């Protein structure tokens, strides 16, 4: 069965701290895709990254970085030097349908609060 | 700016009434749109896949007669919650698939908070 677990319900940090959001997934497929989305208070989901199961290379984009470990079925997201604008709910998601973002299984999300 | 417009942002209605939510792709054609439901502090759950010109595909457990989906044009999908009840109160969010660049992109609307009294 497909499942995405984000064990951290809420995290609170002070600005400039680094923070890692955990994501653990379950799937029986060998080909799958993982995503991270940001949901700010305004409600819309903002796409952050998509990674396929064959690419375990870690990725860095500015202050964001992602660590994909197939051995532990984890796809963790780290924000370096956090800022108040990073405050949002972050969702990790899994897709087995050829990477289509439509058929996504979402985790319950982690609410990140960055205090000044 | 937003590329998917969802309207209304919030709606309060009486039990038994119907509510229509619109999802528009603003600068691309979307043959496929998706409708999700999100309860407080919960994840987004896919309700249905809306296909332009054909019937929507509903996820298991979602009542198709309760949640009517119409995708009559390439830029508009509507979700109508019929005979709404308090348990239908939730945050509904749509997304639209953009394939115009040759690579799939998914854009989300800003959501609709439905409160049924």
Q: B27 pLDDT exceeds 90?
A: no
- Average pLDDT over chain A, rounded to an integer: 89
The predicted structure's pLDDT at residue B65: 94
> Which of A102, A110, A113 is the best residue to mutate to test the B interface, defined by the most B CB atoms within 10 Å of its own CB?
A102
User: Model confidence over B10-21: pLDDT tens digits?
Assistant: 999 999 999 999
- Judged by phi (left if over 0) then psi (alpha if -120 to 50, else beta), residue A9 lies in alpha
The predicted structure's pLDDT at residue A97: 60
- Name which of B70, B72, B99 is nearest A100 in CA terms: B99
User: Model confidence over B55-89: pLDDT tens digits?
Assistant: 899 998 999 999 999 998 999 999 999 999 999 99
Please list every residue in chain A whose beta carbon sits closer than 8 Å to the beta carbon of residue B43: 4, 91, 106-109
Rounded CA-CA distance A60/A102 in Å is 25
Please list every residue in chain A whose beta carbon sits closer than 8 Å to the beta carbon of residue B97: 100-102
Q: In this structure, are strands B19-25 and A46-52 parallel, antiparallel, or unpaired?
A: unpaired
């Amino acid at each position: 069965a497909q499942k995405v677990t984000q064990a951290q319900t809420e995290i609170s940090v002070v600005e400039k701290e680094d923070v890692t959001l955990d994501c653990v997934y379950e799937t029986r497929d060998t080909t799958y895709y993982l995503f991270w989305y940001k949901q700010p208070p305004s409600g819309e989901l903002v796409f952050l990254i998509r990674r396929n199961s064959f690419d375990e290379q870690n990725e860095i984009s500015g202050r964001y970085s992602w660590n994909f470990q197939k051995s532990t079925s984890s796809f963790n997201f780290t924000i370096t030097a956090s800022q108040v604008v990073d405050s949002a709910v972050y969702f990790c998601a899994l897709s087995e349908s050829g990477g289509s973002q439509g058929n996504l299984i979402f985790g319950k999300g982690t609410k990140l609060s960055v205090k000044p | 700016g937003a590329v998917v417009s969802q309207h209304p942002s919030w709606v309060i209605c009486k039990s038994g009434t119907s509510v229509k939510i619109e999802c528009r792709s603003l600068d691309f054609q979307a043959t496929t749109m998706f409708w999700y439901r999100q309860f407080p502090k919960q994840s987004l759950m896919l309700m249905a896949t809306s296909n332009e010109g054909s019937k929507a595909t509903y996820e298991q457990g979602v009542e198709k007669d309760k949640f009517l989906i119409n995708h009559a044009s390439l830029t508009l999908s509507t979700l109508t919650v019929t005979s709404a009840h308090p348990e239908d109160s939730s945050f509904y969010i749509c997304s639209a698939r953009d394939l115009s660049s040759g690579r799939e992109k998914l854009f989300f609307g800003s959501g609709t908070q439905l409160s049924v009294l």
